[in-house]
Amino acid sequence: SFREQFHRRYEVNSEEFTRRHLYFQNATERHAYLNSLSAGPQSAKYGINRFSDLSQKEFRDLYLRASADRAPLFSGLKTEG
Amino acid sequence: LPAKFDWRDKAVVAPVQNQEACGSCWAFSVVGAMQSTHAIGGSQLEQLSVQQVLDCSYKNEGCSGGSTLRALSWLKQTRVKVVPRSEYPYKAKTGICHFFSQSHDGVAVKNFIAHDFSGREEAMMGQLVERGPLAAIVDAVSWQDYLGGIIQHHCSSQWSNHAVLVVGYNTMGDVPYWIVQNSWGTTWGDEGYVYIKIGGNICGIADSVAAVLL
């Protein structure tokens, strides 16, 4: 159902399917851990989404590409410029 | 400061975009802030070209990554006018920079203000209300699995790897939170938005925050 919902084209039992299946299983384990600290109706929820068949490395390499340049510490309203 | 504030209520925030398989979050964040600031100044809300910033900001690396502050610094130094999205559409690939004459319609950055608001998130709320949506960088490693709700754990500060647009906040409930527009499409998070607890610099939301002056 994940493949159908997110339009994945890899075939069952293909090498890619096996790899993606493993990443998907890893994701469900992560979800259990991440949700274990959630308390209250407003807490963040973690679960299956379109990134669930990516490894954490693939996700980082594709989507987390911003580099951080440090900004000066805010010290009041008259520090602009 | 008002207990809650959301620039979307003023119709100055463009719809959620999808960067696709391109590390262009830094450009979406900066262009998002420009679009909103332009609309707050009285112009009609218009989507500007992320692809132009992606291709032309030579201090950054296109789809391979970049920094919001370096992009803003380039926009300020060159006074390049960012043209409407319709004239330079998004391709999710780094391409050759297209030049436009200075007489061409577009929006230029006059200046920007960047600060580390860690420990001073109330002051950051003031900047948001006073200046408009803010370009911020965050640690988004745990966002791979995010579905909705207010992030309060599992997010480090000072390990930023993703750029976003802070468009509002809400301190009315038990857990005050930032309202953050992401660029991973509307099928991610809450219709493309993520909520982050205010206080404690969760996900490094206050580490490097920029407001645009046009």
ipTM of the complex: 0.92
CA distance A38 to chain B (A): 8
* SS3 at position B114: strand
* Cβ contacts of B161 on chain A, cutoff 8 Å: 60, 64-66, 68
Q: Are B196 and B177 in contact (CB under 8 A)?
A: yes
**CA–CA gap between residue B53 and residue B26 (Å, rounded):** 9
- Residue among B116, B210, B182 nearest A74 (CA): B116
Query: How far apart are the C-alpha atoms of B162 and B117, rounded to whole Å?
Result: 17
Report the mean per-residue pLDDT for chain B: 96
| Catalytic machinery residues of B | 25, 162, 182
Question: Would you state the structure tokens that stand for residue B58, as one six-digit string?
Answer: 């030579």
Q: SS3 for B170?
A: strand
CB contact under 8 A, A45 and B65: no
User: CB–CB of B175 and A46 under 8 A?
Assistant: no
Mean pLDDT of B124-146: 97
Ranges A69-78, B47-56, B85-94, B106-115: which has the least confidence: A69-78
Residues of B in contact with A37 (CB under 8 A): 153-154
- Work out the minimum CA distance from B30 to partner chain A, whole angstroms: 12
- pLDDT per residue as tens digits for the range B179-211: 999 999 999 999 999 999 999 999 999 999 999
Q: Tell me: the pLDDT tens digits for A28-81? A: 999 999 998 777 788 999 999 999 999 999 999 999 999 988 899 998 755 444
**Dihedral sign of CA atoms A58, A64, A69, A75 in order:** negative
Which of A63, A67, A71 minimises the CB distance to B115?
A71
Render the burial of B192-211: b for 16+ CB within 10 Å, e for the rest. Answer: bbbbbbbeebbbbbbbbbbb
Q: How far is CA B210 from CA A26, A28, A67, B34, B50, in A?
A: 36, 36, 14, 11, 17
- Burial letters A9-21, b for 16+ CB under 10 A, else e: eeeeeeeebeebb
- Helix B25-40 × helix B68-78 angle, to 10°: 50
Per-residue confidence band for B154, with pLDDT thresholds at 50, 70 and 90: confident
DSSP string across B28-62: HHHHHHHHHHHHHTTSPP--B-HHHHHHH-TTS-G
| H or E stretch covering B68 | helix B68-78
Phi, psi at residue B169, to the nearest 5°? -150, 165
